[in-house]
Structure 1
Amino acid sequence: MQSTILKKVRYIRVDGGLISADERIIRETVLKVMADGRHLVSAMIVAAMEKEYAAGYLYVQGIIKGAADILSIEIKNNIADVRLKEDREKRTISENISSSLVVRKEDVFRCVRAILKSPVFRETESVHSAGLFLDGKEAVSITEDLGRHNALDKVIGAGLLKDVDFSRTLAASTGRQPAEMILKCRSAGIPVIATKGVPTSMAVELAEKAGITIAGLVRRDAMTVYSHPERIE
């Protein structure tokens, strides 16, 4: 996998002299998502899990109700060509999360640690990681991307294609958590998001209204719970 998303380049380092060497850096690519011939979005992504990204994007945007609405996804020449059921119904996105999920604080720490083990991040320090965990324990998917929002779309798409019950999941993500990340979780029905970063004020407001728990600054054995602490045991 790393060979497809990393590219070797020659560079000159200036550090008391000139040093010529090779380094592997992230291979950035554009992915155009087409649904039944209609252009939906063009995203700059890491070229991995393109099908999952397309499925996650369609689901988060409310274009599909589930994986059954997708007839096929073909990735070719940087295009995700999606064919959808003609008689599908557009999904109504709820403003509130319906979930009885409660996770242990130990599992929150474990999920965040899991996404920080990315060998791509360790080598390049230029990607965001995201993960989706069933009941805060079982990893459904862990991936990396240039943007935290793309990485979240990918793991949501992976969960969708695996027919996961999103109301029983925890999403872990690197970096700060702006409102866009909370909106994606609300759209998918994910009740808990954990990060080693921090949320914005608007993100906290949205999460509080939607019934989403944000656990931020998850580091070592400490965290800050910004909304709905009752979901963490």
Structure 2
Amino acid sequence: MFKRIACIRIGGGEIARDAAEETPVAIFVNGRHLTTVILSPGGFQDFITGYLYTEEIIKSPDEIESVRIEENRISVLTKNPFRRGTVKKTILSGCGGAVSYIDTQKLPTIDSDLAVSIPEIEAAVAALSAPDPLDAVLLALDGRLVARFEDLDRHNALDRVIGRGLQDKLDFSRMVAASTGAITSEMVRKCLVAGIPVLVSTGTPTALAVEIADETGLCIVGSARTPEMAVYTHPERIVGCSGA
């Protein structure tokens, strides 16, 4: 994921430093170009499984007939060869085509009775560290790591862990997802599609992420590595939370 690059130190002298590699990858579904994404090298099978699932192009890995992975291209055939894919992103609605608000009624909601403890959250966050400038995302069950990936983009890393979980047939309704960086509305959407009930981050959530999570049943915990760790939505999912 890193390549040694020569550079000149401002104070003088030539040095070599590690630079993260990035790969533009074109995604084709049933022969049609879906999108092009920027990924850290490797792990494309996990990524494409999670990505197609969170974009709601497939409902399970069983719908994938074949995946052909080349250096800068991923070609997917589904069992329904006439299926057309579109990139969803956060669902918006408005009048006359103008974006005006988030229609949370079109988003999935969380159906899980999972409640996690602070020690479980701390154990998950302890496994999150990633070398700069990469982000890390993991899935944990009862405080135990079950999947972890790094990427230049934490949204891609989230797709990777979801893809790994799908292939391992994990029960997402019992899982905690933990991430470095800020929690965005798009990360919330991906967790909702997968049915992950708790999303933890070392950073803080955006206001829009909190709004969507609050209306759809997702618990958000932010600033998880600091004394300022806080529950932003659905504190009933956190054991011993005073707001529950």
TM-score over 0.5 for the pair: yes
Is 1:227 paired with 2:233? yes
| Counterpart amino acid of residue 65 in structure 1 | K
Deviations along 1:69-94, one digit per CA (max 9) or x if unpaired, are 1122221131111121128999xx85
Deviations along 1:121-180, one digit per CA (max 9) or x if unpaired, are 1xxx1111111113x423221111111111111111111111111111111011111211
Deviations along 1:99-139, one digit per CA (max 9) or x if unpaired, are 111111101111111111x3xx1xxx1111111113x4232
- Name the SS of the counterpart of 1:219 in structure 2: coil
| Structure 2 match to 1:108 | 121
Tell me if structure 1 keeps the 8 A contact 2:119–2:143: no
Tell me if structure 1 keeps the 8 A contact 2:107–2:189: no
Percent identical among aligned pairs is: 38
Is 1:41 paired with 2:48? no
| TM-score, normalised by the number of residues in structure 1 | 0.88
The separation in 2 between residues aligned to 1:38 and 1:184, in whole angstroms, is: 23
Aligned equivalent of 1:51, options 24, 42, 45? 45
| Closer/same/farther in 2, CA of residues 31 and 192 from structure 1, 3 Å limit | same
| Structure 2 match to 1:127 | 134
- Name the SS of the counterpart of 2:169 in structure 1: coil
| Counterpart amino acid of residue 192 in structure 1 | V
CA RMSD for the aligned pairs? 1.9
| Structure 1 match to 2:204 | 198
| Counterpart amino acid of residue 86 in structure 1 | N
Map 1:15-30 to 2 at 5 A.
15=11, 18-30=12-24
| Closer/same/farther in 2, CA of residues 115 and 30 from structure 1, 3 Å limit | same
Is 1:6 paired with 2:2? yes
The number of equivalent residue pairs is 218
Deviations along 1:4-62, one digit per CA (max 9) or x if unpaired, are x11111111111xx211212211111111111111112111101211111111100011
| Structure 1 match to 2:71 | 77
| Counterpart amino acid of residue 43 in structure 1 | V
Tell me if structure 2 keeps the 8 A contact 1:109–1:220: no
